[in-house]
Amino acid sequence: MARVRPGVPVGKVPGRTFRGIDMQVLSRQRGVSLIEVLMAVLIFSIGLIGLAGLLVMATRSNEAAYLRTQVTFLAGNMADRMRANPMGVWNGNYNTDTNALPTTVSSTDACLNTACSPAQLAKRDQQIWVNQLKTFLPNQTATVICTNTSAGFDPVAGGQVAMRPPYGGNCLMTISWDERKEAEARTTSGRGVGTQKFAWNFQP
């Protein structure tokens, strides 16, 4: 049988009651719960930071895809214009190594009141193209160089260019523009902007 000390009620110990023990245990449990909540908030915050980074990368990738789509569209647009003016291509009117891309054209070259010559039409095509490049691409440059050495014949020298023969040479088109780099490709001094280049060998 358990011995009971005189003067001490059953269920109690000297200096401390069972109720006091229960209160201390509850106090410790409340502290543990607070730490768990703080850890959950910390983990949730880290997850939100990662999600924000993913959203930024997705937006940047969408922007890069948009710019490259515009470059493909603009290149095809100029190739179609050249295909419709074979005399201008044979005469080298579209070549940027001898003709700088114009930003404006006169009313005569714009063919507003009179019919265009092949050279005037080429200048008008270039002016429209340059304005499109400026509208859709940041900090853009473009070149078009056509050579007919591989054609095997020269309708300009032979006096047959007026018959509008299809171009038998080869053209090289290049378009450069600025594009945001990925985070790991950035430099410490730059803004993470790199130059992209599109090159296309085609026969108009």
pLDDT digits (tens, 9 = 90+) for 81-97: 999 998 889 889 999 87
How far is residue 37 from each of residues 29, 128, 130, 147, 179, measured CA to CA in Å? 13, 62, 59, 72, 43
pLDDT band at 114 (very low <50, low <70, confident <90, very high): confident
Q: Which pTM was predicted?
A: 0.65
Please name which of 57, 61, 76 lies closest in space to residue 198, comparing C-alpha atoms. Answer: 76
pLDDT band at 188 (very low <50, low <70, confident <90, very high): very low
Token digits of residue 83: 């295909």
Please name which of 54, 165, 77 lies closest in space to residue 157, comparing C-alpha atoms. Answer: 165
Please check whether residue 121 is in contact with residue 111, taking contact to mean a CB–CB distance below 8 angstroms. yes
- Residue 28 host element (H or E): helix 18-83
pLDDT, averaged across the chain: 77
pLDDT at site 175: 94
